[in-house]
Amino acid sequence: MFTAVDVIRTKRDAGELRKEAIDWVIDAYTRGEVADEQMSALAMAIFLNDMNAREIADWTDAMIRSGIRMDLSSVGKQCVDKHSTGGVGDKITLPLAPLVAAFGVAVPQLSGRGLGHTGGTLDKLESIPGFDVTMTEDQVITQLRDIGAVICAASSDLAPADKKLYALRDITSTVEAIPLIASSIMSKKIAEGTDALVLDVKVGSGAFMKDEKRARQLAETMVRLGADHGLRTTALLTDMNTPLGRTAGNGLEVTESVEVLAGGGPSDVVELTVALASEMLALAGMPEADPAQALRDGRAMDTWRKMVTAQGGDPDAAMPSAKETADITADRDGIVTTMDAYSVGVAAWRLGAGRTRQGEKVQAAAGVEILKTVGEPVRAGEAVFRLHTDTPERIEPARQTLNGQWSIGTNPPAPTSIVLDRIGTA
């Protein structure tokens, strides 16, 4: 017989939790027998004293078994998913899902909403008039079979323990605990029933993992969890010190994603989209596929339009525009040498693109447009940022957030690759 106090004490004292204790506490918490206060204490004990590989595996198993497991076997195609640990301007899912689906691979992208400085894929898609992110399992399977790409909300029956625990972690400063991040992500992805998974593990100022060593540890932990469950998994470590692309916001990022699908768009967004697509296609048995060509020849755009239409959206509709805009200008000539991703994300959040609590509405048109990015020349008086919002009183706090968080110099920074490393089982 277990009690919450005994389980908390074991981990508080840096002890190892038995499988039976983990199974009990996850089940009891999901049913409401263990109180939020007790699970908060356990989460903090895990944050401070860590878990070993066996504990993390058992914790993940218990999270999976707290709900249903989807069966995608009737789709009749290889199912490959992608998960990002979150960043500023990270709109990659939007062009990536239809791009990979254009090769006959099914992409069941069950996504989430933004909270704090990182945006949510569902919030971005809901900027498209009529787009519906709520789908049943049968609808998901039908759309995967017919079109190949789905981007929607996960069922509440999928790893419900994670839903409860994630909300608790967010308000108890335990989000960054590697065992809890890894089990949260992988329990949902394993329960989703996909055949393979590519992880985009972000590192830098705009990511939850600021340190590359910890980001690598997280990636290795998740890849191992995938392998243990027969889920073919690889991970890319990617740079999140500078915002991805030229937009951070909801509708703004949709517009930029469509530019990528049309064969244009910012080079860093294209680079990462193609890199992740190549990983996903390789796991699906197509290592020679050329995703860059599928962006150029319009195949990915065709799939995007079909997906948007199937989910009730209008691919030709104009995106919402903000009622108020304001520019932040350069005070001298030079080259933009740095731009802090976290600050751009916070500015977009302050403008109304993000939420401070679950369930709060976001502004579809709010966000930050980056008119001059790192490495580009700028003249005194030229706009570097354009702030978008429906509420003018939000502009000054956003402006203050960006003050001192970008710089102009005389020498361009050394070119860098957005992909830092690849982590796999072999």
- Per the structure block, which two tokens stand in for 308? 């948007």
pLDDT at residue number 419:
96
Q: How many helices (H) and strands (E) does the chain have?
A: 16, 13
Q: Has 305 been annotated as catalytic?
A: no
DSSP state, residue 220: H
Give CA–CA dist 342/356, Å, rounded: 16
Q: Which of 267, 268, 290 is nearest to 278 (CA)?
A: 290
> Is 343 part of the annotated catalytic residue set?
no
Based on the residue annotation, tell me whether 184 is a catalytic residue of this protein: yes
pLDDT of residue 170: 74
What is the rounded distance in angstroms from the CA atom of residue 109 to the CA atom of residue 189?
Answer: 10
Domains of the chain by start residue, with CATH: 4-49 (1.20.970.10), 73-316 (3.40.1030.10), 324-409 (3.90.1170.30)
Which residues make beta-bridge pairs with 336?
Answer: 408
> Cα(276)–Cα(308) distance, rounded to whole angstroms?
21
Decide if 83 is catalytic.
yes
Selected catalytic residue, list 169, 216, 306, 388? 169
Residue 400's nearest CA partner among 331, 363, 351, 336 is 351
pTM: 0.93
Catalytic one among 184, 205, 257, 278?
A: 184
Q: Are 185 and 222 in contact (CB under 8 A)?
A: yes
361 belongs to the catalytic site: no
CA distance readout (Å), 132 to 123, 136, 261, 312: 11, 11, 21, 6
Residue with tokens 């419900």: 160
Question: Sign of dihedral through CA atoms 95, 98, 104, 107?
Answer: positive
Give the pLDDT of residue 354: 85
Helix, strand or coil, per DSSP, at residue 408: strand
> pLDDT per residue over 363-378, tens digit each?
999 999 999 999 999 9
The residue annotated as part of the active site, out of 91, 188, 202, 216, is 188
Contact 179, 55 (CB under 8 A): yes
Low-confidence ranges of the chain (pLDDT < 70): 114-117, 358, 426
302-342 pLDDT, tens digit per residue, is: 999 999 999 999 999 999 999 999 999 999 999 999 999 99
- Model pLDDT, residue 116: 64
Cα 409 off chain centre by: 32
**Helix (H) or strand (E) run with residue 283 in it:** helix 267-283
User: Which residue's entry shows tokens 């080079």?
Assistant: 267
pLDDT at residue 426, rounded to an integer: 57
